[in-house]
Amino acid sequence: MTKASSHIGEVIIEARDIVKRFGGALAVENVSLAVREGEIHAVVGENGAGKSTLMRILAGIIEQDSGQVVMNGTVLETGAKNSLDAGIALVHQELSLVPEMTVAENIMLGYAPTRVGFTKSQELNAIATSALDEIGVSVDVNERISRLSVALRQFVEIARAVARKPKVLILDEPTATLTPAETDYLLDMLQRLAKNGMAIIYISHRIPEVFRICDSVTIVRDGQRVMESSIEKTTPEQIVDQMVGRELKLDLQTKRTAAAGDVVLSAQGIRAPGVEGIDLEVRAGEIVGLGGLVGAGRTELVRAIIGADNRTAGRVTITREGKTVALTSYQSAVRNGVAYVPEERRTDGLALGMTVAENITLTNRKELSRYGVQTRSKIAKFSQDLADKVGLRPPEIRQEAGQYSGGNQQKIVIAKWLGRRPDFIVLDEPTRGVDVGAKAEIHRLVKELADAGTAVLVVSSDLPELLELSDVIHVVRDGKITGTLHGAEANEKSVMSLAAGEKMVDA
């Protein structure tokens, strides 16, 4: 850990006693924060702690109820334009680019709109190109965003913020969708920007990242600041304890002992766009992991298996209680006890305008009666139990799903499918954006499900998670399985070398 603090200067941005309510609920309660030039300051906390809300206030996107944002000693008027003019740029938690527009158009979106003739494409391209150069990412500025990988989109988001030449750069969970190599690249880049004097506010659920690049950390819990410290003076354990407000026992190395049963899911010769002929089986009580880099074809594979996307070749069967059925469509899969937790929770997984209880029970009506749960009060209890199990915060099952923070929305999707007690479940990046405490809970639930006899298929780019959950790992590269690792054969190195192949990846 090399941390030269010599380049850290004066306090440039301050939040003073910020308060923000949504309806009756306090999202941010008297939080103060000060960040210096050249400093990377982490803001960490559980899902729903108020991190994104505070950042949106700093960026002038939403208005605080009370308190002040101060730049260089001057109190800022609220408003996104004022924050941007003062040199504050925010990279949002959810990607905010316009897919149909080009890289250059997105980077320049809303940029200096008052200058007549500014949209001349040459000039536009030049500024976009120099922002991309500054972060060292090469991508054709005339390419449409919809044609780029998720990782490249994330880097374009960052270029868009950097093009504003900000004095304060705020990144809200920028590494959630990145592979380890891409994450390394991003972290190095942020350190470089900080060395040149930029103040950076960095939000992440990954504590090792915080220790690698940050100089200081602010911890928020239930909307309040509970701790502020330089990185040298704290430890990962202390940060996690402060985040959750209790001592958290992360039993991260519990391996399951239950032996796998009969084959439940069999997929043979699967071909689909991005999938080049894959065979795989998942047994009752077994957790099979799919490792690989983002873009390797894992999501395409699982979608082709369950029929969410069309297969061009191959056969999928599910066997339950001695009876084998061929799965020909997504509807037939769901009818036959298949559950799917998709990667894109906001678009595929949730009805944002409906309540948590409705989201959980919608898919569960039939199952509920199977377990004798029919009355309104039993249904409410069923939803509440599941919401509690996944650690939804606040545990208000009558609140709209769309009002929950990013990580909590993911928990609702998980709860909704866990409640079905499926025969076969596919989980694609199940804990992306989920905080450490809830992540451990979700891992426990997935293992419980397997122990109860469900066949589980997990896609995860989070290596510790993949290793923690899987009984066996298939590594996918370029739409093919390049290796299968059992038990002790599986470790970060063996998975990564199969995933990356000969050539190492560029960010």
Ligand X SMILES: Nc1ncnc2c1ncn2[C@@H]1O[C@H](COP(=O)(O)OP(=O)(O)OP(=O)(O)O)[C@@H](O)[C@H]1O
Q: Which residues bind to ligand X, rule: CB under 6 A? A: 22, 27, 45, 47-53, 93, 394, 403-408, 435
* Least separation in angstroms between CB 396 and ligand X: 9
* Least separation in angstroms between CB 394 and Mg ion: 15
Given the complex with ligand X, which of 61 and 258 has the nearer CB atom? 61
Residues 405-444 that bind Mg ion (CB under 5 A): 405-406
Given the complex with ligand X, which of 47 and 183 has the nearer CB atom? 47
Given the complex with ligand X, which of 44 and 198 has the nearer CB atom? 44
Is 135 in contact with 158 (CB distance < 8 Å)?
A: yes
Residue span binding Mg ion (CB under 5 A) among the ranges 122-130, 143-151, 403-411, 466-474: 403-411
Q: Does 52 bind Mg ion (CB under 5 A)?
A: yes
Buried b (16+ CB within 10 A) or exposed e, 330-356: eebbbebbbbbbbbebeeebbebeebb
Q: Does 204 bind Mg ion (CB under 5 A)?
A: no
Point out which residues pair with 316 in neighbouring strands: 267
Q: Which of 419, 465, 466, 461 is nearest to 438 (CA)?
A: 465
Given the complex with ligand X, which of 400 and 478 has the nearer CB atom? 400
* Least separation in angstroms between CB 390 and Mg ion: 17
Given the complex with ligand X, which of 50 and 289 has the nearer CB atom? 50
What is the rounded CA–CA span in Å between residue 388 and residue 391? 5
Given the complex with Mg ion, which of 93 and 359 has the nearer CB atom? 93
Is 329 in contact with 305 (CB distance < 8 Å)?
A: no
Point out which residues pair with 21 in neighbouring strands: 26
Is 214 in contact with 40 (CB distance < 8 Å)?
A: yes
Q: Does 266 bind Mg ion (CB under 5 A)?
A: no
494 interacts with, out of Mg ion, ligand X, none, CB within 5 to 8 A per kind: none
* Least separation in angstroms between CB 395 and ligand X: 11
53 interacts with, out of ligand X, Mg ion, none, CB within 5 to 8 A per kind: ligand X
Point out which residues pair with 16 in neighbouring strands: 68
Three-state SS across 334-356? Answer: HHCCEEEECCCHHHHHCCCCCEH
129 interacts with, out of Mg ion, ligand X, none, CB within 5 to 8 A per kind: none
290 interacts with, out of Mg ion, ligand X, none, CB within 5 to 8 A per kind: none
- Hey, how many other C-beta atoms are within 10 angstroms of the C-beta on 233? 9
CA dist 202 → 35, 125, 133, 213 (Å): 11, 28, 22, 9
Q: Which stretches of the chain bind Mg ion, using CB under 5 A?
A: 52, 93, 405-406
